[in-house]
Amino acid sequence: MNNNTFRWAICIAITAVLFTAACATQQKGVLVDVTVPPQVDLKTLSGDINTINVREIAGDHNCAAPLKTKIASLIVNAGIFKKEIAGFEEGGAAAVDVTGAVDKCGVEMGRGALSANFSLLYNGQVWRTFIVNKDTNRPGASEAEVRDVLVDRVARAFVSMFIPTTRQEVRVFKPVAPDDQGITAAMGSNWDMAIQLWTKRIGQFPKDHNALYNRGVAWEARGDLRKAIADYKRAAENDKDPLYIESLARAENAFKAAAQKERMKE
């Protein structure tokens, strides 16, 4: 190998290392809790609705019974609607009934599929219908474990149709410097320190879109969507990076969903 070839090989190797390191840094991220709006708003039926009753889930008992229990549990745990108390009806309150049927309960060791149809009834009339299909492939899992996973997935998918839910999403950071201590603090969930460091950076460089975006991620991770939206908006104003625009849209949607959830509790 001559000297020129050797130098080119070294340059390529160094470039590859630097590129890999940069990508690894940019891929650092955290999980944030995001409120997801339901497909239908039960309050459009009546502002007095505060009870949801799971009446009957027909079909294969092995899946239908645990599915009914899981759906009822998810509804109550959401903290928005109550379940019916036998022998007691709250004056002036309206209720929605849930019925359904298991169409397929195929469960065996390591895999399975569950399909069910559901109806929401108001004043005895069907208002909305839903079909939910889920499958899983879990090598080595027992039939009971497979069934539990399927029931959980189908129940959550159905309940999310009419109750705001929370899911976790990844938010990645964009370094403001080769050694961004704000990211280091954020990766350790030290949000106060991360926000303080990026705020200092923004004070020195008001148009630093990376710092604005990163601080927005920190605010979102802490659940302060108003401040997250403000920072994402400023970042997008200084740089039309699709990541900033997408993050702004997601935060605004999450804010609306959280507000809707609070309204549904009233």
Is 115 contained in some domain?
yes
* Token representation of residue 116: 């069910």
Going from the C-alpha of 110 to that of each of 65, 150, 161, the distances in angstroms are 21, 12, 28
> Is 222 in the same domain as 153?
no
Mean pLDDT of 156-177: 92
**Domain identity same for 137 and 185:** no
Tokens of 161: 């149709």
Provide the 10 A C-beta neighbour count for residue 116.
Answer: 29
Contact 169, 34 (CB under 8 A): yes
Of 164, 188, 223, at which residue does a domain stop? 164
Cβ count near 214 (within 10 Å): 29
List strand residue ranges (DSSP E) for the chain, in order.
29-36, 49-58, 94-108, 111-122, 125-137, 165-172
Checking if the pLDDT of 20 tops 50, the result is: no
Q: Of 22-36, 49-63, 123-137, 151-165, give the lowest mean pLDDT range.
A: 22-36
- Per the prediction, the chain carries an average pLDDT of 87
Task: Sort 62 into a burial class: Cβ within 10 Å, 0-12 / 13-18 / 19+.
Answer: middle
The confidence band for 13, taking pLDDT boundaries of 50, 70 and 90, is very low
pLDDT on residue 8:
46
The count of structural domains within the chain is 2
Do residues 246 and 152 both lie within one domain?
no
- Any domain includes 11: no
Last residue of a domain, one of 105, 132, 164: 164
Predicted confidence at residue 126, as pLDDT, reads: 95
Q: What confidence tier does 87 reach under pLDDT thresholds 50, 70, 90?
A: very low
User: From edge to edge, which strands make up the β-sheet containing 125-137?
Assistant: 49-58, 94-108, 111-122, 125-137
Task: Say if residue 184 is in the same domain as residue 160.
Answer: no
Percent of all residues in the chain with a pLDDT value above 90, rounded to a whole number: 67
Which among 97, 129, 164 is the end of a domain?
A: 164
* Residue 152 scores a pLDDT above 70: yes
Task: Lowest mean pLDDT of 10-19, 130-139, 236-245, 249-258, name the range.
Answer: 10-19
Residues 123 and 188 in one domain: no
- The answer to whether 45 touches 122, Cβ cutoff 8 Å, is yes
Q: Which residue has the higher pLDDT, 54 or 167?
A: 54
Closest by CA to 131, choosing from 111, 97, 157, 95, is 157
CB 137 within 8 A of CB 124: no
The letter for the amino acid at 150 is L
Indicate the range of 7-16, 58-67, 109-118, 144-153 predicted with least confidence.
7-16
Give the CATH number of the domain where residue 122 resides: 3.30.160.150
Q: Are 52 and 96 in contact (CB under 8 A)?
A: yes
Higher pLDDT, 88 or 155: 155
Domain-located, residue 13:
no
Q: Can you tell me the distance from the alpha carbon of 182 to that of 174, in angstroms, rounded to the nearest whole number?
A: 10
Tokens read off for 131: 């079909």
CATH number at residue 232: 1.25.40.10
**Residues near 120 by Cβ (< 8 Å), separated by ≥ 6?**
40, 42, 96, 97, 98, 126, 127, 128, 129, 130, 162
pLDDT-based confidence at 21, cuts 50/70/90? very low
If 0-12 CB within 10 Å is exposed, 13-18 middle and 19+ buried, where does residue 127 land? Answer: middle
Is 4 domain-assigned? Answer: no
Cα angle for residues 59, 64, 69 (degrees, 5° grid): 155
Q: Which pLDDT belongs to residue 24?
A: 42
Same domain, 152 and 46: yes
Mean pLDDT of 155-176: 93
Looking at the predicted structure, is the pLDDT value of residue 149 above 80?
A: yes
Work out the average pLDDT over 222-234: 96
| Model pLDDT, residue 85 | 62
- Tell me if 78 is assigned to some domain: yes
Nearest alpha-carbon partner for 139 in 119, 110, 115, 161 = 110
**Which pLDDT band holds residue 27 (cuts at 50, 70, 90)?**
low
Residue 243 domain boundaries: 172-265
pLDDT greater than 70 at residue 100: yes
Whether residues 51 and 80 fall in one domain? yes
**For residue 18, pLDDT beyond 60:** no
| Exposure of 168 in the CB half-sphere (CA atoms within 13 A) | 5
Alpha-carbon gap, residue 105 to 116, rounded angstroms: 9
Tell me: pLDDT of 91 over 60: no
* pLDDT score at 219: 97
| pLDDT score of 12 | 44
Has residue 22 got a pLDDT over 80?
Answer: no
Residues 149 and 187 in one domain: no
- Planar angle of CA 237, 256, 195, nearest 5 degrees: 50
Q: Is the pLDDT of residue 96 over 50?
A: yes
Residue 37 domain-assigned (yes or no) = no
